[in-house]
Structure 1
Amino acid sequence: MTRRYALRDDQWARIETFLPGRKGHVGMTARNNRLFVEAVIYRYRTGIPWRDLPERFGDFRIVHLRHSRWSKTGVWERIFNALAQDADNEYAMIDSTIVRAHQHSAGAKGGIDKQAIGRSRGGLSTKIHVTVDALGNPTGFHLTPGQAHDLEGADVLLEDTQGQTIIADKGYDAQERLVQPLKDKGKAVVIPSRSNRKQHRTYDKHLYKARHLVENFFARLKQYRAIATRYDKTAINFLGAIHLAAAVVWLI
């Protein structure tokens, strides 16, 4: 069996204690947690439909159902948050990226807006908002419809940020909504002013160059083909997959 998309033994050892149904855990014992986790990684890394999962992973319907359950109950997010405790909070960088949502992603309960899918001239899309630490490792995520403003993600992700210095591009130049509240919390802000501002804010141009780290993370995240293109109908399943992929980044 190929190990290309599988976890190494040392990587598995770092996360297995966070999983439900582990040996010695109260309640029902899950059968082969590792095979299931690697099945989900394989599916999102390759971008194949669930029904095309190799037979070695078992019934694809059970794998998909279990992934949905773990996404809903926050298992993937807890794994990610546990690993992200090691973040270097000297700096925090925030940005967003838009991913195309496949036509099959529409149709979930509540409509596309409820599932963080937007409709624009380019078709259906979802915007992934992310914060990374001073080393470029992910620390938080938020999903919105593709047409949403970047500040909608910042409102959520920067509210309780541990980063001491916030670095972002000029799309986050909102003095009253973002910049001043951050300064009031004692944060340093490295955000260039929009060109149409009458009075431009000074910022550390050398430190601003570190913002490429968040772009590097997006490049790594989009190696997962089922994240680079969204096929999930529900936002909670898509976000669960993002948390798992980000956890793998922490494990590398």
Structure 2
Amino acid sequence: MRKQLRDDQWKQIEGLLPGKVGDRGRSGADNRLFVEAVLWIARTGSPWRDLPTQFGRWNSAYQRFARWSRAGVWHRVFATLGRERRFREVFIDSTIVRAHQHAAGAPQKNGAQALGRSRGGLTTKIHVVVDAIGHLIQGRLSAGQVHDVTQAQALLDGVPARCVVADKAYDAAALRQSIRDAGAKAVIPPRANRREPIRWSKAIYRHRNLVERFFCRIKHFRRIATRYDKLAERFASFVCLVGTFVCMQ
């Protein structure tokens, strides 16, 4: 079975995980094996029960993944490794993910599950902003029918960009004003029904393929390409982990 992490990749995240020497409780001697187990699940899209025995007991790995998700471990690792991003230009977009029927049915008490219904069935939308080399800066989940522009300001909050690039789905006066107020330039082509002309840089807009390529890369992981998790928190953890892994390659 191929290894999921190179040694240099493991060194980048080793000190950010619970269970290291100096932490309270038992030391996590098998942290690397556990992270590789989660990456295997993400890559193959397999049920946890099908986790190969080389990674240990499937239920122990699942319960640990759930604990780390609740504690925000995967988000903290991503946030720490993502401090050095190239913010000159950022690119914002979203992608639809088909949700498997097993993703439905979580109790309402667990909160919103970012699931929507359409003619195609259950869907979730992943909204992201990536930097000038296509690395993830921030991400959000929503139901599949939610319009892209409604999530844009939250995604860009705290992102010190000089230029924000997006497609015409983000052509909204409020968003353009928000970008200007933050001291950045909006490179967003106008919708066909817009009356007043808007100037935008086609030369900069050509690089928007970076965010499309990011989606292609994370969807190589079948647990991202199709949502199997009932809880949005767990699916978001997979997105964070895979986004971190992609940025380390």
Which TM-score applies when normalising by structure 1? 0.96
User: Deviation at 1:111?
Assistant: 8.0
How far apart, in 1, do the equivalents of 2:24 and 2:162 lie?
Answer: 40
Q: 1:70 aligns with which of 53, 68, 73?
A: 68
User: What is the CA-CA distance between 1:249 and the residue it aligns to?
Assistant: 1.1
Q: 2:153 touches 2:178 (CA, 8 Å); kept in 1?
A: no
Deviations 1:11-50 (A, max 9, x none): 1001000000112323321240000000000001011111
The one-letter amino acid paired with 1:221 is I
The one-letter code sitting in structure 2 at the alignment partner of 1:19 is L
Q: Evaluate the alpha carbon distance shift between residue 138 and residue 47 of structure 1 in structure 2; reply closer, same or farther with a 3 A threshold.
A: same
Q: Distance in 2 between matches of 1:224 and 1:117?
A: 20
Identity of aligned residues (%): 49
Residue in structure 2 matched with residue 195 of structure 1 by the alignment: 192
Specify the SS of the correspondent of 1:126.
strand
Letter in structure 1 aligned against 2:226: T
* Mapped partners of 1:153, 1:136: distance in 2: 19
Alignment partners' CA distance in 2, 1:111 and 1:227: 24
1:1-252 aligned within 5 A: 1-3=1-3, 6-110=4-108, 114-176=112-174, 178-252=175-249
Asked if the contact 1:170/1:194 (under 8 Å) is kept, the reply is yes
For structure 1, list consecutive stretches of 5 or more residues without a partner in the other structure.
Answer: none
Letter in 2 for 1:175: A
Measure, in 2, the Cα distance between the counterparts of 1:161 and 1:47. Answer: 32
SS at match of 1:142: strand
Q: Which runs of 4+ in 1 moved over 4 A?
A: none
Do 1:104 and 1:231's aligned partners in 2 also have CA atoms closer than 8 Å? Answer: yes
Q: How many residues align?
A: 249
Distance 2:210 2:109 in 1: 34
Q: Please report how far the alpha carbon of residue 71 of structure 1 lies from its aligned counterpart in structure 2 after TM superposition.
A: 1.2
Deviates more, 1:182-191 or 1:95-104: 182-191
CA positional deviation for 1:251: 1.0
Question: Which runs of no fewer than 5 residues in structure 2 stay unpaired?
Answer: none
TM-score calculated relative to the size of structure 2: 0.97
